[in-house]
Amino acid sequence: MNVSRLERHRTQRRVDGDVSRFWILGLLFSLLILVVEFFVEIPTEADWLLEMEMALFSASFTLLAFYLLGLTFVFSRQEETGKVNHHVIIYVWLGAILFHLFQLVTNISNPHIYKAGIILFLGPFFLTIYHFTTYLSALREARREEIRATAASRERVAYQLILEATRIHQEIKRFQSVHPEVDQMLRANAFYPKMERFILEMQQYLQAEHFERKDLELLEGHYLFLENLLTLVKQLPEVMESRLFAHREDDRPTSII
């Protein structure tokens, strides 16, 4: 239930961020339309109008090309392409390009037509910005989720290694207290101080807040040493005889009186 509530909170936060981004860009676009329509004066006989249309046509064509290259990169990585259907943005850019091309061919000297050309350039431009902004936001969130999942996985592996190593250590200590041969072998080969140092280093990781790859490699190395040491202890003659005797005692049939 806690995990589900956390996931719902993260999803809602992402949705709220996308909605806020959309409204901010929409408000800026609306303000630009008002500025262009009511505060920008375009003379009908100016010599630079044709150059402006050519610049808008070239810019639209170039931005569409970059947009398609960006989509190719995104699809090649098999990732999300944002919160806007990319076909809509492509069609809007194509519509803007055709409008500018029509204006270049016909050269209609109407200020409202030129203002419409500016707005038709700004519309897909803002949509493209919103598209890649949401894409980058989703990509960052996916990377954060991946980092959190990796950290949780490493934490589980680390705690499992510490738990199993602690059990093995307790089993070796039990053999050491019961069988003098085990204690002699451990001390004669300097296994005992190394074993105690390893288990102490592993248990200190219980206080760690996060685990790196090198930490897991260290814990795994300590665990394998303790596991091999337990296997070596079980192969001692005294321990093997004791285990076989205990096995025979367990298999002896009980008499019914």
Residues in contact with 22: Cβ distance below 8 Å, sequence separation at least 6, in sequence order: 83, 130
Angle at 235 between CA 230 and CA 241, to 5 degrees: 120
In the structure, what pLDDT confidence band is assigned to residue 5 with cuts at 50, 70 and 90? low
pLDDT at 102: 86
pLDDT at 23: 74
In the structure, what pLDDT confidence band is assigned to residue 256 with cuts at 50, 70 and 90? very low
pLDDT at 107 over 80: no
Residues in contact with 138: Cβ distance below 8 Å, sequence separation at least 6, in sequence order: 14, 80, 82, 83
40 conformational bin, left if phi > 0, alpha if psi -120 to 50, beta if neither? beta
pLDDT tens column, 188-197: 999 999 999 9
- Rounded Cα distance between 67 and 97, Å, is 14
* Average predicted confidence (pLDDT) for the chain: 80
Select from 102, 97, 159, 165 the least CA-distant residue to 125. Answer: 97
Instruction: For the chain, give the longest Cα–Cα distance.
Output: 122
For residue 220, CA distances in Å to 45, 62, 67, 95, 138 come to 80, 54, 48, 61, 35
What secondary structure does DSSP assign to the chain, as a single string? -HHHHHHHHHHHHHHHHHHHHHHHHHHHHHHHHHHHHHT----TT-THHHHHHHHHHHHHHHHHHHHHHHHHHHHHTT----SS-HHHHHHHHHHHHHHHHHHHHH----HHHHHHHHHHHHHHHHHHHHHHHHHHHHHHHHHHHHHHHHHHHHHHHHHHHHHHHHHHHHHHHHHHHH-HHHHHHHHHTTHHHHHHHHHHHHHHGGG-S---HHHHHHHHHHHHHHHHHHHHHHTSHHHHHHHHHHHHHHHSPPP--
pLDDT tens column, 9-60: 555 555 555 566 667 767 777 777 777 666 667 766 667 778 888 888 898 8
> 142 vs 233, which has greater pLDDT?
233
